């Protein structure tokens, strides 16, 4: 055999050594990329700089999209002592979102003006007219117009056709039914004396008469039992409320609506009473669209000079007064003395024509202030 040069022998040994090495063992250059792409187990250091959760913690987020934004929006957040429950930030919700019936009672009462009574004139009943009128000339006075409108059944007329002789009426104040119109009074929902105290004193005569006989608003006048009307008198809801408590919601809503319509004020106690009564509402009463009230103020008044009331009617010749008919209710009088004076003027001639003496003892409107 011919001897090989030394360089050829060394090269052969190098090739033989490479062929005998393990092909599955990665070189340093091959292993480095694998180490970079392998995820670190939970609890061991990782290569993405995400903090590991401390022991006994709750993870609020477990994945982090690659991003270059701030740590607060890109890193996992942990609470060492998570609360048992979580809730939204507390806010003040409107009352209307939790209390049935609102916000319409609040809206209604916000339209009222609270003021102490300060009339510039004394209340004189005759300033508001001589009683029920017949504005449409059909021979039915305002009283009988109301009875006709509010009867649940067809009404019966007198032979003259000018009086309601029968029908069926629901007395809302007491919650009972009536078939005899003689057992009913026509109540000014907001009594005339109350209207005078709360701003009506400044109206001119025509406005006062319109108020007394107003049929344009079906809420303004209401047929009620005579006893309930006389018990109410001229008192507001802070002093008197219907015996039937189921009617309180409608009563307060109607009272406030009439005062708003006629721009009449309320007292502080009055509005508190209205709030209490409206709190009994389960829903807003049916709204009624009425004709706006026409209000004209009288001439300027010099409060320093007393004003004597001027009679609006002249009695016929002789001592006997004209028959007033059933034209008055106890609520038309400010006090018992006024009712008694009217009663004693006409009762000797025509008896209790206005049915002011409900119990027949000769004392009219005993529930009014100053009564026996």
pLDDT tens for 23-68 read: 444 433 333 334 333 333 333 333 444 344 444 433 333 333 444 3
CA distance 183 to 358: 9
> How would residue 354 be classed by pLDDT, with cut points 50, 70 and 90?
confident
The reply to whether 303 falls in a domain is no
- Tens of pLDDT, residue by residue over 117-168, are 888 899 999 999 888 999 999 999 999 999 999 999 999 999 999 999 999 9
Continuous H helices in the chain: 6-19, 28-37, 71-74, 104-110, 142-150, 192-197, 205-212, 226-232, 248-261, 268-278, 336-350
pLDDT at 84 over 50: no
- Tens of pLDDT, residue by residue over 272-325, are 999 999 999 988 888 665 567 777 777 765 656 655 655 544 444 457 788 888
The reply to whether 94 falls in a domain is no
The answer to whether the predicted template modeling score (pTM) of the entire model surpasses 0.85 is no
The reply to whether 26 falls in a domain is no
For residue 178, which of 156, 154, 157, 151 has the smallest C-alpha distance? 151
Q: What domain range includes position 179? A: 99-297
Contact 133, 141 (CB under 8 A): yes
Count Cβ atoms below 10 Å from residue 135 Cβ, excluding itself. Answer: 14
The upper half-sphere exposure of residue 161, i.e. CA atoms within 13 Å in the direction of its Cβ, equals: 3
User: Residue 341 has what pLDDT?
Assistant: 87
CA distance 284 to 282: 7
The reply to whether 178 falls in a domain is yes
The reply to whether 198 falls in a domain is yes
Provide the token pair at 69.
Answer: 């934004």
CA distance 244 to 133: 31
In the chain, the number of structural domains is: 1
Give the total residue count for the chain: 372
From 20-24, 226-230, 356-360, the region with the lowest mean pLDDT: 20-24
| Helices 268-278, 248-261: crossing angle, 10 deg rounding | 140
The reply to whether 139 falls in a domain is yes
> How would residue 72 be classed by pLDDT, with cut points 50, 70 and 90?
very low
> How would residue 245 be classed by pLDDT, with cut points 50, 70 and 90?
very high
Contact 59, 78 (CB under 8 A): yes
CA distance 255 to 247: 12
The reply to whether 131 falls in a domain is yes
Give the Cα-Cα-Cα angle 65, 69, 73 (nearest 5 degrees). 65
The reply to whether 214 falls in a domain is yes
């Amino acid at each position: 055999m011919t001897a090989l040069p030394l360089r050829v022998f060394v090269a052969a040994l190098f090739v033989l050594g490479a062929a005998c090495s393990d092909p599955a063992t990665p070189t340093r250059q091959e292993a480095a990329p694998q180490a970079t792409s392998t995820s670190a187990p939970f609890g061991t250091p990782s290569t993405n700089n995400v903090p590991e959760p401390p022991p006994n913690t709750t993870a609020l987020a477990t994945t982090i999209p690659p991003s270059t934004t701030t740590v607060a929006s890109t890193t996992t957040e942990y609470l060492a002592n998570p609360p048992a429950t979580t809730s939204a930030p507390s806010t003040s919700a409107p009352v209307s979102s939790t209390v049935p019936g609102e916000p319409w009672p609040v809206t209604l009462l916000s339209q009222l003006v609270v003021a102490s009574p300060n009339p510039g004139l004394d209340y004189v009943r005759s300033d508001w007219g001589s009683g029920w009128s017949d504005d449409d000339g059909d021979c039915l006075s305002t009283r009988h117009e109301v009875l006709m409108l509010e009867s649940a059944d067809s009404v019966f007329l007198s032979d003259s056709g000018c009086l309601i002789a029968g029908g069926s009426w629901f007395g809302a104040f007491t919650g009972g039914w009536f078939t005899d119109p003689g057992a009913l009074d026509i109540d000014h929902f907001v009594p005339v004396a109350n209207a005078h105290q709360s701003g009506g004193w400044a109206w001119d005569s025509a406005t006062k008469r319109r108020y007394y006989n107003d049929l344009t608003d079906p809420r303004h006048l209401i047929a009620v039992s005579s006893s309930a009307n006389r018990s109410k008198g001229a008192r507001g809801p802070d002093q008197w409320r219907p015996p039937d408590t189921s009617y309180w919601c409608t009563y307060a809503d109607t009272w406030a609506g009439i005062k708003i319509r006629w721009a009449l004020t309320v007292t502080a106690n009055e509005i508190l009473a209205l709030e209490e009564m409206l709190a009994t509402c389960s829903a807003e009463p049916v709204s009624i669209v009425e004709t706006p009230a026409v209000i004209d103020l009288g001439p300027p008044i010099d409060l320093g000079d007393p004003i004597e009331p001027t009679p609006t009617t002249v009695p016929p010749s002789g001592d006997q007064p004209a028959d007033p008919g059933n034209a008055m209710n106890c609520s038309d009088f400010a006090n018992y003395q006024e009712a008694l004076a009217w009663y004693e003027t006409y009762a000797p001639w025509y008896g209790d024509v206005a049915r002011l003496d409900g119990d027949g003892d000769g004392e009219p409107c005993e529930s009014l202030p100053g009564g026996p």
